Amino acid sequence: MSSVARLTAAAAAAGVLAAAVALPAVGGTGAIFVSASEDLGIKPEELKEPPLAEKTTVVDAKGNPIAQFYEQYRESVTLDQVAPIMKTAIISIEDFRFYEHGAIDIEGTMRALAKNFASGGIAQGGSSITQQYVKQVLLNSATTDKERNAALEASYARKLKELRYAMAVEEKYTKDEILEKYLNIAYFGAHANGVEAAAKRFFGVKASQLNLVQAATLAGAVQDPNATDPNLGKAQRKRLLNRRNVVLDRMAELKKITPEEAEEAKSKPLGYKGTSLPGGCSASQYPYFCMYVRNEVLSNKAFGKTAKARSQFLNRGGLTIQTTLDPKMQRAAEQAIKKYVYAKDNPVAAEALVQPGTGEIKAMAASRKYGNNKRKKEMSYNVVADAKHGGGTGFQAGSTFKTFTLVTALKKGWKINDGFTVGSGYTAPYYSSFKNCKGESIGDPSHTVTNDEGGGGFKTLATGTWQSVNTFFVMLEQKVGLCETVQTAKSLGIHRSDGLDLLEFETFTLGTNEMDPVTVANAYATLGARGKFCEPMAITKITDRNGKVTTYKPDCKKALDPEVADAAANILSGVFTKGTMRGVGGIGRPAAGKTGTTDNQATAWFAGFTPDLAGAVSIGDPRGAQDHKLNGVTIGGRYYGNVFGATIPGPIWKDTMLGALKGVPATEFHPVNTARFGGCGSGCAPVRQTQPDDATNDVGDGPLDEADIADFG
């Protein structure tokens, strides 16, 4: 500002004050402002007051807080939730005539004006609490550097503008309402916005619990919160201590406290505790689930049309986000993982639990802690989820994908005992033996698929699944169609963890695509819900700062014929009694699932379900699964020559389910439609002379056994 402009502005300000001083001060806006308006044409100007940035709290399904997000750490409170001594302290030091004057304190401003004229600039503020509130509103509303600079500009023009706004504020609110707003918007330093956040940050108490020493400290901090920020070091703490003592002296001078009380308080140490600010997923008890929720809000347009809008919604909205996380089930998953895999191990285990019929994610757990400390082998990404929700590239899902080929065969009319003879190796006869969904021939006659344990002979849908025979499933995929199998997988929500398109090769059924536990668990949950697919969901309700509640319902659709899902569940339940999980055993209630191991044990999985809960467990080395296979490794303090799906993931899944479903009544699988799926059609086993095990077969009452196969043969 030029010297002429400065003098002009100063003259205008002086005119306002001269006109004001000519009349006696009256409470509220008072006659002084009527006079100023009439003499100089200065009128109240409406102040836009956007909602303050408020912290968002995330709670579990029981309502327990599990995480907080904020752009500014603030917890707004009403004036009756602030200790009276705090109100006295802030008024004493900042605006002792607050309840007596209008929008401007004439005496204080005249003193400041005299000093400012002498210095040629703004040397002293003289601002009332109302004016300070206005300044904070303008500063908090600023979205650009230009707006922020304008709010902080040391000029008479800004002062006059603030005065216009302050006049309007005084007309709009009572003095108590203005004080409440000021205490909630003021910045106290140490990243604490508002008196409640400051009380917790500085002293670990609520604003209602502040004592004299603490109140004087916070009252002193607002003048220059950066210079007196106790979180920055000894010099700042010393300044804050000196400033606190100034406040105590002023309170004694105004007879708000006695000189003896002031001296006793001044003898006390600063008492700053620096209570950790709760916020972000690193501070959450459940960091992986927290990351899923955070990324869901930031990426889903249901929470805002633009990325900026969604970020503000989460970090400034003052929301309470209720989630699907079940603390009992989460605890069961964490304990099961900890039993088999240590945080210090190179391989990492991850597990997700999903409720069939709703898609609600009940738990997300991993063997490693979340963080950036590589020495402690912390994880900096969400190993339980896909990249969209903060995850990485995932791990190849192995034979858990055979389930999608099985389901495709059942959809096409295959019966449980239909099958064919396979060898220990399989080579595609022609390039055209497999076609992707673009119609391209992608068979590979130069590559031979082999079985981990031989496994040749006649296999049915049931026995081929129980024994997890690679050659059987690749040939089955050839018969039912690669593209059809891919489409089945997609209908169950299968997508690559890294967000790229699914790789459609003949080895699709062997699980060569990288997956995450949430996606796989949700696909298996669809079978538990008799073919009802629901998008994975983590948020059930959001309550905004004004108490408005928005609920979120499951997003579901029919993906499979229920009878197809029933038949698949029946076959997969045999994995526990006659298949790859027979050494681990079941969980004492109807359950079905599939192990998964990739070539040479690069990764291992187990995915399983009951009608009540589904889960998927993965284990692999994040340094690179192909370069660091699960052979000759020590995990959880035990040495393993080779790790398969039933070696570690299967037991983790079993222990998790036993804990998560404890006390939950068991739900039976729906019986198989034997007229549709019983016996065999065109792919029957060679006739074998044997006696039935009983008068009727037990298809639908449990997994098929060899006697049942003979019954239908």
Alpha-carbon Rg for the chain in angstroms: 35
CA neighbor of 185 nearest in space, from 248, 132, 255, 128:
132
Q: Which of 45-59, 458-472, 632-646 bottoms out in mean pLDDT, i.e. has the lowest?
A: 45-59
3-class DSSP state of 80: helix
User: What's the CA angle centered on 525, arms 519 and 526, to 5 degrees?
Assistant: 95
pLDDT at 711: 32
Structure token digits, residue 350: 């991850």
Instruction: Please report the DSSP string for 88-126 in residue order.
Output: HHHHHHH-TTTTTS-SS-HHHHHHHHHHHHHHTS-----
What is the average per-residue pLDDT within 248-276? 96
pLDDT at 106: 61
- Report residue 13's pLDDT band, with 50, 70 and 90 as the boundaries: very low
Distance CA 686, CA 430 (A): 28
Say if residue 467's pLDDT is above 60: yes
pLDDT at 698: 32
- 470-506: pLDDT as tens digits: 999 999 999 999 999 999 999 999 999 999 999 999 9
What is the average per-residue pLDDT within 259-287? 92
Residues of the chain with pLDDT > 90, as a percent, come to 74
Distance CA 192, CA 296 (A): 27
CA neighbor of 324 nearest in space, from 355, 271, 295, 362:
362
Torsion-angle region of 531 (φ positive above 0: left; ψ -120 to 50: alpha; else: beta)? left
- 399-426: pLDDT as tens digits: 999 999 999 999 999 999 999 999 999 9
pLDDT at 108: 60
Structure token digits, residue 672: 């198989």
Contact 502, 487 (CB under 8 A): no
- 280-310: pLDDT as tens digits: 898 899 999 999 999 999 999 999 999 989 9
Say if residue 190's pLDDT is above 80: yes
Structure token digits, residue 608: 């399983």
Q: Which residue has the higher pLDDT, 249 or 107?
A: 249
- 367-409: pLDDT as tens digits: 999 988 888 889 889 999 999 999 989 999 999 999 999 999 9
Distance CA 221, CA 186 (A): 10
Distance CA 37, CA 654 (A): 78
H or E segment to which residue 200 belongs: helix 195-203
Say if residue 454's pLDDT is above 70: no
Average pLDDT, the chain: 87
**Alpha carbon 348 to chain centroid, angstroms:** 21
Instruction: Please report the DSSP string for 248-290 in residue order.
Output: HHHHHHTTSS-HHHHHHHHTS------PPPP-SGGGSSSHHHH
Say if residue 548's pLDDT is above 50: yes
174 burial type by CB count under 10 A (0-12 exposed, 13-18 middle, 19+ buried): exposed
Torsion angles phi and psi, residue 539, rounded to 5: -120, 125
Residues 6+ away with beta carbon under 8 Å from 357: 525, 528, 529, 532, 534, 554, 556
Say if residue 235's pLDDT is above 80: yes
Say if residue 515's pLDDT is above 50: yes
CA neighbor of 285 nearest in space, from 538, 72, 64, 55:
64
Contact 386, 520 (CB under 8 A): no
Q: In this structure, what DSSP letter does residue 702 have?
A: B
Strand order in the sheet with 614-620: 361-366, 348-354, 614-620, 604-609, 592-597
Say if residue 340's pLDDT is above 60: yes
pLDDT at 600: 83
Contact 615, 522 (CB under 8 A): no
CA neighbor of 320 nearest in space, from 78, 76, 63, 554:
63
Residues 6+ away with beta carbon under 8 Å from 553: none
pLDDT at 82: 98
Distance CA 665, CA 87 (A): 56
Distances in whole angstroms, Cα of residue 501 to Cα of each of 160, 439, 589: 61, 16, 37
Strands 592-597 and 604-609: antiparallel
Residues 6+ away with beta carbon under 8 Å from 87: 79, 179, 183
**Alpha carbon 402 to chain centroid, angstroms:** 31
3-class DSSP state of 665: coil
Q: Which residues are bridge partners to 365 per DSSP?
A: 351
pLDDT at 16: 45
Distance CA 675, CA 555 (A): 33
Distance CA 554, CA 337 (A): 28
Cβ atoms within 10 Å of 260's Cβ, excluding its own: 9
Say if residue 278's pLDDT is above 90: no
Q: Which of 56-65, 69-78, 150-159, 251-260 bottoms out in mean pLDDT, i.e. has the lowest?
A: 150-159
Q: In this structure, what DSSP letter does residue 704 have?
A: -
- 559-576: pLDDT as tens digits: 999 999 999 999 999 999
**What are the b/e assignments for 574-599, b being 16+ CB within 10 Å?**
bbbebbbbeebebbebbbbbbbbbbb
**Alpha carbon 2 to chain centroid, angstroms:** 53
pLDDT at 118: 53
Cβ atoms within 10 Å of 690's Cβ, excluding its own: 12
Strands 556-558 and 514-515: unpaired
3-state helix, strand, coil in the chain (%, to 5): 40, 15, 45
pLDDT at 372: 83
What is the average per-residue pLDDT within 14-22? 42
Say if residue 706's pLDDT is above 70: no
Distance CA 679, CA 416 (A): 6
pLDDT at 103: 65
